[in-house]
Amino acid sequence: MNQPDQLFKLLGVNGRDGEGLSKFAKKSGVSVRKLRYYNDNNILPSGTDLKLLLEASGLAELELTLGMGRLDSSVIGSIQKRAKDIAKIIGSEEKIEQQNQRTCSVAFTTTQGKLYRGDCQEILKTMASESVDLVFADPPFNLKKLYPSNIDDNLKSERYIHWCQQWIQECIRVLKHGGSLFLWNLPRWNVALSSFLDGRLNFRHWISVDIKYSLPIHGRLYPSHYALLYYVKGDKPNVFHPDRLPMQVCPHCYGDLKDYGGYKDKMNPLGVNLSDIWTDIPPVRHAKYKRRNGANELSLKLVDRIVEMASNEGDLIFDPFGGSGTTYMVAELKSRRWLGCEIGP
């Protein structure tokens, strides 16, 4: 089966990066138009172009031919001569794959999605680059919480940040161009993670979600918001459909709380623009409302808003930290495909 962008991958060129592609075209002497033509149609270049591409990439002809999945008689002859060595290489790669499968078993599937049981970093390794439309991540917050998975939620700050950077880097790899990444965490951690994301993705918003998450702390301000970082791969998101919110009314008399500068009749009847401060997300905190103890489940409304804003029906959503499965539930309800993992039971 042909992989997308196989020629570009073999040549070590990022086909999405116009500048990178032009540079390679200049270096090799094969025009951008021709490079795209060969790549998009999975055509093995020949003649002068083949020679130029081999020179520029440092690849051997056999390497390129095999990499493009061509098995002509000369290639088959070479394979037959080295059958023993090739069998060894393939065998050892299969072993690694089996080990991965052992640590990451499939826990649950539907027609729309698949949940793996295992460490998200292992599962991410098996995922193709640029395959996901939306990433939403709600990792443990390193607050010494006891998770059913017994993960260490009390790491030194630098180790926690380093761990987050590792899986974020992989999430960036699997995100499609124009795809969106949302990262839910405490402001304390998202400050550091935001500076890691800057330069790798494009910043869209720091959304403050007004939810109190601890008791007032003496000598400090009362912590009252979670930070939802919103980044996009590339200049602009492929999908952006922000919700509109109903105009606020008094819960007693149902009169408007604001006068909208006297222009209420000119307002959009579908509601007011969504801002980067969300005050209408209920916490799901009381044990009796939780479906799964210890999972720190999020409000469906929060995840639903993100899914509606940044994906279309049929898009693929990845959430590396499944917990009680809020993201997967929203994806099912909203006809999105989904992939997830959870290290715990």
Ligand X SMILES: C[S@@+](CC[C@H](N)C(=O)[O-])C[C@H]1O[C@@H](n2cnc3c(N)ncnc32)[C@H](O)[C@@H]1O
Q: Enumerate residues 295-324 that contact ligand X by CB under 6 A.
A: 295-298, 320-321, 323-324
Orientation angle between helical segments 32-40 and 18-28, nearest 10 degrees: 110
Q: Is 229 in the site for ligand X (CB under 6 A)?
A: no
- Judged by beta carbon, residue 142 or residue 238, the one nearer ligand X is 142
Per CB under 6 A, 190 contacts ligand X = no
CA gap 114, 318 in Å, rounded: 10
With beta carbons less than 8 A apart as the criterion, state whether 45 and 30 touch: yes
Instruction: List binders of ligand X among 43-102 (CB under 6 A).
Output: none
Min dist. Cβ of residue 174 to ligand X (A): 15
Q: How far apart are CA 62 and CA 116, in angstroms?
A: 37
Count of residues that bind ligand X according to CB under 6 A: 21
Site string for ligand X, 101-140 (x = CB under 6 A): ------------------xx-----------------xxx
Compose the 254-293 pattern: x for residues touching ligand X by CB under 6 A, - for all others: ----------------------------------------
Please tell me what DSSP assigns to residue 287.
G
Looking at the Cβ atoms of 5 and 119, the one nearer to ligand X is: 119
322/106 Cα distance (integer angstroms): 13
Element holding 109 (H helix, E strand): strand 105-109
314 to 13, 154, 210, 335: CA distances (angstroms): 29, 38, 31, 6
Among 151, 239, 267, 272, binds ligand X (CB under 6 A): 151
| CB neighbour list of residue 172: distance below 8 Å, 6 or more residues apart | 181, 197, 200, 201, 233
**E strands within 126-257?**
132-137, 175-185, 202-210, 225-232, 244-245
142 binds ligand X (CB under 6 A): no
Contact between 164 and ligand X per CB under 6 A: no
Taking the chain, what is the end-to-end CA distance rounded to the nearest angstrom? 35
CB of 243 to ligand X, least distance (A): 19
Show the tokens assigned to 267.
Answer: 């307002």
Selected from 3, 101, 149, 169, the binder of ligand X by CB under 6 A is 149
| Contact call for residue 211 and ligand X (CB under 6 A) | no
Burial 226-245 (b: 16+ CB within 10 A, else e): bbbbbbbbeeebbbeeebeb
Specify the stretch interacting with ligand X by CB under 6 A; choose among 19-27, 42-50, 269-277, 336-344. Answer: 336-344
Does residue 328 belong to the site contacting ligand X (CB under 6 A)? no
Among 57, 100, 130, 147, binds ligand X (CB under 6 A): 147
Looking at the Cβ atoms of 278 and 321, the one nearer to ligand X is: 321
Residue closer to ligand X, measured from CB, 25 or 341: 341
Please report whether residue 196 would count as binding ligand X according to CB under 6 A: no
What is the dihedral angle through the alpha carbons of 150, 155, 161, 162, rounded to the nearest 10 degrees?
-80
Contacts with ligand X, residue ranges (CB under 6 A): 119-120, 138-140, 147, 149, 151, 295-298, 320-321, 323-324, 326, 341-344
